[in-house]
Amino acid sequence: MGSLNIENVKKAFGPVEVLKGINLEVTDGEFVVFVGPSGCGKSTLLRVIAGLEDSTSGRVVIDGADVSATPPAKRGIAMVFQTYALYPHLTVKNNMGLGLKQAGTPAAEIDRRIGIASSMLSLEPYLQRRPAELSGGQRQRVAIGRAVVREPKLFLFDEPLSNLDAALRVNTRLEIAQLHRRLKATMIYVTHDQVEAMTLADKIVVLNAGQIEQIGGPMELYNSPANEFVAGFIGSPK
Ligand code: ADP
Ligand code: MG
């Protein structure tokens, strides 16, 4: 399970409306990519979905239930950030398990899930290391592993590859695609990189200044961009 409905979500910071009425349906198991220029509201929309930010109006519905008043930890969502957000003093293993431990998950179950996630992400050799002893790509895999062990209905990725160099970006992108195939989980992925969007997405949502310009499959947007903006962003050259 992991369907998502965003219904007329608006978000203002003071007088500035950053999300101007977003409507979106995401079906269970779909890989949806949000693209758009810096400042258009991509991160804000993810944070509203995750519950890290309250919307000004509108509803967020997960598996048919309105979660607008549900705290982040109870939404069945795990988020992966550009900056990894790992605890420097904890080992890889403890970084991955901390959330489960705090939620009262038995130690044996935590170990079982870390075993599976670390195998999927090739992290077994690093479980006893600390983040400072890892490369950027390895750190981001730990952050992804920490999301995986929570067995969320919905993964949210906010520009997870932006801090990685080109070769690692391709590598990590392929790992995320593989993870999606194996887990069959719903994933929402924010990027400003057209290649990432085109290669990962079942469905691309093009955002501009707090509004959706177009929603469609990669080839649909490429071949039939709705307007100049979408064409400039991912459309085929005219
Ligand atoms: P994106 O992720 O697409 O680059 P953001 O969602 O981070 O865009 O930001 C959208 C707009 O909202 C930007 O103009 C940003 O400055 C503003 N914004 C984001 N968070 C806050 C906040 N906590 N307070 C005030 N303005 C914010
Ligand atoms: Mg952002």
Distance CA 24, CA 202 (A): 14
The residue count of the chain comes to 238
Is the distance from CB of 86 to CB of 143 less than 8 angstroms?
yes
Is the distance from CB of 212 to CB of 182 less than 8 angstroms?
no
Q: What is the pLDDT of residues 26-64, one digit of tens each?
A: 999 999 999 999 999 999 999 999 999 999 999 999 999
Residues 6+ apart with CB under 8 A from 137: 164, 168, 171, 172
Q: Is the CB of 51 under 6 A from ligand 1?
A: no
Is the distance from CB of 80 to CB of 155 less than 8 angstroms?
yes
Q: Tell me what pLDDT residue 235 has.
A: 75
Q: Is the CB of 47 under 6 A from ligand 1?
A: no
Give the up-direction half-sphere exposure of residue 234: CA atoms within 13 A in the CB hemisphere: 34
For residue 8, the tally of other CB atoms under 10 A from its CB is 13
Q: Is the CB of 26 under 6 A from ligand 1?
A: no
Q: Tell me what pLDDT residue 77 has.
A: 96
Distance CA 236, CA 141 (A): 33
Q: Tell me what pLDDT residue 6 has.
A: 98
Indicate which residue's Cα is closest to atom 11 of ligand 1: 39
Sites in the chain below the pLDDT cut of 50:
none
For residue 109, the tally of other CB atoms under 10 A from its CB is 12
Distance CA 104, CA 123 (A): 24
